[in-house]
Amino acid sequence: MKNKTMLASIVILAVSLLLVHLFASRTLHFKEKTLIQKPIDEVWEVLGNQFAEPHLWAANFIASKPGGTPKLPGLSYRHRATLTESGDNWQELDAFDPVDYSLTYHISKGVPPIAKSAIGTWKLVKISETQTQLDVDFSLTTKGFLGFVMSPIVGKKVGEASAEIVEEFKYYLENEQPHPRKLAAAKE
pLDDT at 50: 95
Helix (H) or strand (E) holding 131: strand 131-142
pLDDT digits (tens, 9 = 90+) for 27-58: 999 999 999 999 999 999 999 999 999 999 99
d(CA 12, CA 61): 45
**Pairing label, strands 87-97, 79-84:** antiparallel
CB 132 within 8 A of CB 20: no
Annotated domain spans of the chain: 25-187
The half-sphere exposure of 10 on its side-chain side, counting CA atoms within 13 A, is 6
Radius of gyration (C-alpha) of the chain in whole angstroms? 20
Q: Is 25-187 in CATH node 3.30.530.20?
A: yes
| pLDDT tens figures, 102-151 | 999 999 999 888 889 999 999 999 999 999 999 999 999 999 888 888 88
